[in-house]
Amino acid sequence: MEIARHWRLQRHRYALVGEVCNHCGVKIFPARDVCPECNAPAKTPYTFSGKGEVYSYSTVHHPPEGFEHFAPYVVALVRLVEGPLVAAQLTDVEGEKIEIGMPVEMVTRKLRDDGSKGTIVYGYKFRPVIGGRTSLGAGEG
Amino acid sequence: MEIMKPQRDVGIVGYGAYVPRYRLRGTEIKRMWEGEQGCTPPVKEKAVPGLDEDVATMSLEAARNALKRAAIDPSRIRAVWVGSESHPYAVKPTSTIVAEAIGAVPHTLAADWQFACKAGTEAMQAALGMVGSGMAEYALALGMDTAQGRPRDALEYTAGAGGAAFLVGPAEESLAVFEGSTSYVTDTADFWRRQHEHYPAHAGRFTGEPGYFRHVLAAASEIMTALGRKPADYAHVIFHQPNTKFPRKAGRELGFKREQLDAGLLVNDIGNTYAGAAMIGLTSVLDVAHPGERVLMVSFGSGAGSDAFDLRVTDAITGRRERALSTRDYVARRHELDYATYARHREKIRME
């Protein structure tokens, strides 16, 4: 049981919330409170757009404990449009040809499911962009 | 019967749909249990959730689409209400997960609603009251389901997955304004699921006349009478859609033409999305409706009851609906499953 750890991270995981460095403007994910570029304190929350592209990927056939339900699944390094490189699962990709450079968007899905008695952990994954339409909304801030 | 209408005019400020990408064809279910014999399946295919999807994740995407269209600060939402009969937890709200993820916490109401397929429109009625009374500037009402059908049961053909979110707010900011609503409820046991049971049970043909038709027809005709409207006044009508036959028959009996149902009838492509069924039909209508048009939505939930809503589309619809994916974008997205993979997706295979 890692309830406390998941609870601390859920804000970042549900909506891809990182930080922005007010000194040099770099966007940071995951949050680390210190800018990796200029070493200035960086504690201002920043919600990423969720748009990015596949930088690299691989398929997991032998999953670690807690992920058996989803195997085989694809993990990827996603380059967010704001800059950071994020490791995450790709989802909704069965039957899709995955390519480096493929545009993807963030969705919140089940990350792990600790059986019928435990809690469900939710967080970000990425899927191929639907319909090629871009998001114009301000609702996600 | 008096129409329900809050003192302050309210409407829909933003709306959003969600349908998972997986589909199971009716012919594949028929192949599994009936072979070449038997009737034509009641719907062409149904939507099936992905392995990592549930009512919380699906509600969240619909809510985000509603927020994209509304473009308001989510911290101003005072209620996040999710209606469903397939909440991921027996105890622990789906609504807090959604509220947290969209940034509506902590100063918001959050609760899960339960009334079979009417849970979502019940939450809408309450949202109308919250905003209409001035207690809230905005309230988010959702209807979403990942319906389970017992293998080989008639409902297995139609038990689908999907739903919609409506952000209710002041009429002057709305893309559609509520002109009135009504509710018609009785104690009728046509469909139920006891605690700890995996699959729902139903009363067969009893679900038709005493269940669906009695409540849907009464709610629809009462709201039209109370508002002095006739079927021809509406550009679109949406009925709860457990199959294609029931809503078409209800429409015919009330005097609607088939074309008035077309835009909001999705059941043939995604199945019955239970608490989401009428509501996602409304999103599909709002995707194509013109300013000034009137829309009638009538839900049905077993147990049993119907909510009816009379809406007028405003000029704000243009420009706002393009801000998020349309319902048909989700319906068109499609990856077909065979029955075995469907059984895995719906956790019908015992692993331990």
**Does B210 share its domain with B136?**
no
Interface touch B54/A92, C-beta < 8 Å:
no
Write out the residue range of the structural domain in which residue B184 sits. Answer: 176-317
Sheet strand arrangement including A27-28? A27-28, A17-20, A44-47
* B106 CB-near residues (< 8 Å, 6+ apart): none
Is residue B1 in a domain?
no
Work out the angle at residue B171's Cα, subtended by the Cα atoms of residues B124 and B113, and round it to the nearest 5 degrees.
Answer: 10
In a domain, B5, yes or no: no
pLDDT tens-digit profile of A64-94? 988 988 999 999 999 999 999 999 999 999 9
Which residues from chain A sit within 8 angstroms of residue B324, using beta carbons? Answer: 135, 137
- Model's pTM, two decimal places? 0.96
Task: Give the separation between CA A61 and CA A128, rounded to whole angstroms.
Answer: 21
pLDDT at residue A133, as a whole number: 46
CB-CB under 8 Å, B88 with A130: no
What residue of B is the nearest CA neighbor of A14? B101
Overall fold of domain A3-128: OB fold (Dihydrolipoamide Acetyltransferase, E2P) (2.40.50)
Our CA dihedral for B324, B326, B329, B332, rounded to 10 degrees, sits at: 160
Residue B150 falls within a domain, yes or no? yes
Do B286 and B335 belong to one domain?
Answer: no
Are B150 and B218 part of one and the same domain? no
Instruction: Give the CA dihedral B113, B118, B123, B127, nearest 10 degrees.
Output: -170
Q: Mind giving me the DSSP string for A63-97?
A: PPTT-GGG-SEEEEEEEETTS-EEEEEE-S-TT--
Mean pLDDT of all residues in A46-51: 96
Burial letters B111-137, b for 16+ CB under 10 A, else e: bbbbbbbbbbbbbbbbbbbbbbeeebb
Statement: residue A101 has pLDDT above 60: yes
Tally of structural domains, chain B = 2
Q: What is the pLDDT of residue B125?
A: 98
Contact criterion met (CB < 8 Å) for B100 and A11: yes
Cross-chain residue pair B56–A122, CB shorter than 8 Å: yes
Residues B95 and B234 in one domain: no
Locate the domains of chain A by residue range: 3-128
- Asked if A23 is an interface residue toward chain B (Cβ–Cβ < 8 A), one would say no
How far is C-alpha B206 from the chain's CA centre? 22
Helices of type H across chain A: 3-15
Q: Which residue reads 């801000």 in tokens?
A: B323
Query: B272 and B159 in one domain?
Result: no
Using alpha carbons, list the distances in angstroms from residue B312 to A78, B9, B52, B264, B291: 43, 12, 37, 15, 8
**Whether residues B19 and B73 fall in one domain:** yes
Distance CA(B247)–CA(B236), nearest Å, equals 13
Task: Collapse the DSSP code of B319 into the 3-class scheme (helix H, G, I; strand E, B; otherwise coil) and give the result.
Answer: helix
- The interface predicted TM-score (ipTM) is 0.94
- Looking at the structure, tell me whether residues B338 and B213 fall in a common domain: no
**A91 part of contact set with chain B, CB < 8 Å:** yes
Query: Left, alpha or beta for A33 (phi > 0: left; psi -120 to 50: alpha)?
Result: left
Contacts A109 to B, Cβ<8 Å = 50, 52-53, 57
- CA B129 from chain center: how many Å? 19
In a domain, B15, yes or no: yes
CA dihedral B17, A17, A137, B240 (to 10 degrees): 10
Q: Is the domain of B33 the same as that of B80?
A: yes
Question: Which pLDDT belongs to residue A117?
Answer: 84
B57/A109 touch (CB, cutoff 8 Å), yes or no: yes
B351 falls within a domain: no
Strand partners, B47: B23
Q: At what angle do helices B119-132 and B277-286 cross, to 10 degrees?
A: 60
Residue pairs spanning A and B at CB distance below 8 A: 89
Q: What percent of chain B is predicted at pLDDT more than 70?
A: 100
Which residues from B are below 8 Å from A111, CB to CB?
52
Q: Which of A96, A111, A119, A140 to mutate to test the interface with B (most CBs of B within 10 A)?
A: A140
Dist. CA B180–CA B296, nearest whole Å: 10
Residue A132 pLDDT level (bands cut at 50, 70, 90): low
B211 and B302: one domain?
A: yes
**Low-confidence spans in chain B with pLDDT less than 70:** none
Residue A67 contacts residue A73 (beta carbons within 8 Å): yes
Helices (H), chain B: 26-33, 55-70, 94-102, 119-132, 214-227, 245-254, 258-262, 267-270, 277-286, 317-320, 327-332, 339-345
Q: Pick from B262, B42, B122: which is nearest to B251 by CA?
A: B262
Question: Is there a single domain that holds both residue B165 and residue B210?
Answer: no
CB distance A110 to B53 below 8 Å? yes
Does the pLDDT at position A139 exceed 80?
Answer: no
| Shortest Cα distance, chain B CAs vs residue A96, angstroms | 9
Q: How many residues does chain A have?
A: 141
CB-based contact B325 A70, cutoff 8 Å: no
Say which CATH number the domain at B215 has.
Answer: 3.40.47.10
Answer whether residue B84 is part of any domain: yes
